[in-house]
Chains A and B, each alone.
Chain A
Amino acid sequence: MTNHRSPHFWRLLFGTLAALALSTVGASAQTFDAIQKRGKLLAAINLAAPPFGTTDSQMQPAGYDVDMAKLLARDLGVSLEIVPVTNESRIPALLTGKADIVISVLQITPERAKSVMFTAPYGIHQSLVLAPAATKITSLADLSNKRVGVARGSVYADILARSAIPGIQIIQFGDDSATLNALVAGQVDAIGTVTFLANELKKQYPDRHFEEKVSLQDNIYAMGIRRGDFDFLRWVNTFIFVHAHDGQIATLYEKWMGEKLKNLPSF
């Protein structure tokens, strides 16, 4: 069902040429109808953001966001095409019609809501600060004058920047792997991350004694939809409501995050 772009090399090549010929058609159609007509859902996902967007041992797209996208496409009755994006190109890809929806740990912020419409949340987890046991950090204020690594465009970057700790040096890395390895290499004193990644790192480097220091506020994320696409928004919200109720979202969440899903707030 998943139609991942990269292996379908020639299809994209010719698809691009075909799309050029058709580029004047259907630009203004409502997304919900356009997806049905196309028979394909275009979901923007960052595949270098484990455990949300990542790859399995066969290098096929996998992760919480990928599973949510598969479920969404299944319920829509269409096939899924993952539009690979980076954290930076998530919203541009949506706004310029390269994707129908962003499913890529998009944290709900008033700032972002100026450019996209958020669906109901489909995930919530606590972010935390991870550091070697010997480093004394008991509160956010202790991060003062420390080098703290975060993945660029990630929620931890937002949260730490907003907490305005005096003298904190927030160092933004390209992705989670770079952030984690910066901590291992001693390039930073602490990192902002999630429980899943913290556990992975502790497993990989048991002798380094990394430990959770401070919990940051809950990170609540939703899917992003183009402004004004109310039909599609209503449908996705219904989808999230139904699967929050029947437990499928919680099952997928536990599978990838390794912890129970808290009650999803709604708005």
Chain B
Amino acid sequence: MRSVGQAELTYILLAARWTVLLSLAGLLGGGMFGAVLTLASIARSRLLRRAVTVFAQMVQGTPLLILLLLAYFGLSALGLDLGALLSSLLALTLYGGAFLTTIWRAAIDAVAPGQWEGAAALGLKRGQQLRLVILPQALRIALPPTSGFIVQMIKNTSLASIVGFIELTRAGQIVSNATFQPLPAFAAVAAIYFVLCLPFTLLSEWLEERRTMPTNP
């Protein structure tokens, strides 16, 4: 009977590359898409604002697993074969964008309306109001929940095993099934997730503390 040894632990450790790559892809894709959606959500056009709300609610109401399956198998069935990496990137971008836009929109809404009015009274145009007055304050509000969401995102990349990635969780399953020792296998997996998520958890906490400074003077 084999046990979880160096070869198995190395395998798990190397599989973490996929977890990191998928997380980065999801963060970059989701972040950029979320930023575009957030801008659209504060646009003058009512139709655009409504479209963002409907989109965010639809994606948030769909499990990431289903998004991944649709992007990988669904698009393939329609003749668009994106491959595992691109379809995961697509699914994570939609998923990240939908959640981040809600977080960021809420952060912008949390800035007192007086700030918009004050900026307008100074003669700033709408774009300048947003860039110079609102966003710096909204950013501070948005950072803690954003880094909290990043932690969620890192852990959710485990779902990409359904489209063929042998990432951290799947590697743990494979080792567990080769050795029949789930405890050491998944303990190693959990430890790596912890190390990956820890910086963001700490950042989130640190930012939370810093937030006690007045945001609405």
A residues near B (Cβ < 8 Å) are: 5-7, 9, 12-13, 15-17, 19-20, 23, 27, 47-50, 54-55, 57-59, 83-86, 88-89, 92-93, 95-98, 174-178, 180-181, 200-201, 203-204
Report Cα–Cα, A27/B177, bound state, in Å: 35
Chain B residues with Cβ under 8 A from A20's Cβ? Answer: 81-83, 86
With contacts A20-B82, A48-B177, A175-B177 taken as known, whether A86 is within 8 angstroms of B17 at the C-beta atoms is no
With contacts A23-B81, A27-B79, A57-B2 taken as known, whether A16 is within 8 angstroms of B177 at the C-beta atoms is no
- Closest B residue, CB atoms, query A13: B85
- Closest A residue, CB atoms, query B12: A59
Chain A residues with Cβ under 8 A from B15's Cβ? Answer: 6
With contacts A16-B84, A20-B86, A96-B73 taken as known, whether A54 is within 8 angstroms of B79 at the C-beta atoms is no
- Closest A residue, CB atoms, query B179: A177
B57 at the interface (CB under 8 A from A): no
A55 to chain B, nearest CB (A): 5
With contacts A59-B8, A97-B76, A204-B1 taken as known, whether A177 is within 8 angstroms of B166 at the C-beta atoms is no
Q: Could you say which interface size class chain B belongs to?
A: 35 or more
B65 to chain A, nearest CB (A): 10
23 contacts between A and B (CB under 8 A): A6-B14, A12-B85, A15-B83, A16-B82, A16-B85, A17-B86, A23-B81, A27-B79, A48-B176, A49-B177, A50-B178, A57-B5, A84-B166, A86-B161, A88-B162, A89-B164, A92-B73, A95-B77, A96-B77, A175-B173, A177-B176, A178-B176, A178-B182
With contacts A89-B163, A178-B176 taken as known, whether A16 is within 8 angstroms of B73 at the C-beta atoms is no
B180 at the interface (CB under 8 A from A): yes
Chain B residues with Cβ under 8 A from A55's Cβ? Answer: 11, 174-175, 178
Contact A54–B14 (Cβ < 8 Å): no
Contact A177–B180 (Cβ < 8 Å): yes
Q: Of A59, A175, A203, A204, which contacts B7 at CB under 8 A? A: A59
Contact B2–A47 (Cβ < 8 Å): no
Contact B164–A175 (Cβ < 8 Å): no
Contact A19–B7 (Cβ < 8 Å): no
B202 at the interface (CB under 8 A from A): no
Chain B residues with Cβ under 8 A from A17's Cβ? Answer: 86
Q: Of B8, B77, B180, which contacts A181 at CB under 8 A? A: B180
Q: Of B161, B178, B180, which contacts A180 at CB under 8 A? A: B180
A151 to chain B, nearest CB (A): 9
B residues near A (Cβ < 8 Å) are: 1-2, 5, 7-8, 10-11, 14-15, 17-18, 69, 72-73, 76-77, 79-86, 161-166, 170-171, 173-180, 182
Chain A residues with Cβ under 8 A from B76's Cβ? Answer: 96-98
- Closest B residue, CB atoms, query A47: B174
Contact B81–A97 (Cβ < 8 Å): yes
Closest 8 CB pairs of A and B: A96-B76, A16-B83, A59-B11, A48-B177, A177-B176, A6-B166, A177-B177, A16-B85
Chain A residues with Cβ under 8 A from B79's Cβ? Answer: 27
Chain B residues with Cβ under 8 A from A175's Cβ? Answer: 173, 176-177
With contacts A96-B77, A98-B76 taken as known, whether A19 is within 8 angstroms of B83 at the C-beta atoms is yes
- Closest B residue, CB atoms, query A56: B178
Report Cα–Cα, A17/B171, bound state, in Å: 24
Chain A residues with Cβ under 8 A from B17's Cβ? Answer: 9
Give 11 A-B pairs besides A48-B174, A59-B178 with Cβ atoms closer than 8 angstroms: A12-B84, A48-B176, A55-B174, A55-B175, A59-B175, A84-B164, A175-B176, A177-B173, A177-B179, A177-B180, A200-B1
Report Cα–Cα, A112/B192, bound state, in Å: 38
A35 to chain B, nearest CB (A): 17
- Closest B residue, CB atoms, query A55: B178
- Closest A residue, CB atoms, query B183: A181
Contact A19–B81 (Cβ < 8 Å): yes
Chain B residues with Cβ under 8 A from A95's Cβ? Answer: 73, 77
- Closest A residue, CB atoms, query B69: A92
Chain B residues with Cβ under 8 A from A23's Cβ? Answer: 80-82
B163 to chain A, nearest CB (A): 7
- Closest B residue, CB atoms, query A4: B166
Chain B residues with Cβ under 8 A from A49's Cβ? Answer: 177
Contact A48–B164 (Cβ < 8 Å): no
